[in-house]
Amino acid sequence: MHLRLATPDDAPVMATIYNQGIEDRVAPFETRLRTSQEIEQWFDGIHPIVVLETDQQVIAFASTSVYRPRPCYAGIAEFSVYVERAWRGRGAGVCRECPQPRSAPDVGLSRGRGVREARATGWRVA
């Protein structure tokens, strides 16, 4: 398994994985499926997204996003992990052996729920 920074080119597979979570009711509290164009909007240059690959196939991704827009929450991000349906229960969501492209403080995320949860699962915010 290999962890790397996601790019907008990953949006179609990320949308597929995200939508599987909606369809299977195991991930977000969403009911409307997302398009790859909507996922592309997550690439804001502030909140890192990483993908986990095996055999050059994206099998999971972790994203950060705005926790709350108020200034007092600056530096805090929501952290989410989504795993492709066939890879659930096989360790893809807990990638402890994956290298860390960059640490959370490198992108200004220094405290809060998202970073703490990322570290607890073994993922590293890139």
How does pLDDT run across 20-38, given as a tens digit for each residue?
999 998 877 888 999 999 9
Note the pLDDT of residue 111: 43
Give CA–CA dist 78/62, Å, rounded.
Answer: 10
Reference 125, options 107, 112, 113; nearest CA is 107
State the pLDDT confidence band at 15, using cuts at 50, 70 and 90.
very high
60 against 95, higher pLDDT: 60
| Domain boundaries, given as residue ranges, for the chain | 2-121
State the pLDDT confidence band at 95, using cuts at 50, 70 and 90.
low
CB of 32 within 8 A of CB of 42?
no
pTM of the model: 0.75
2-121 CATH choice from 3.40.50.150, 3.90.1170.30, 3.40.630.30, 3.20.20.20: 3.40.630.30
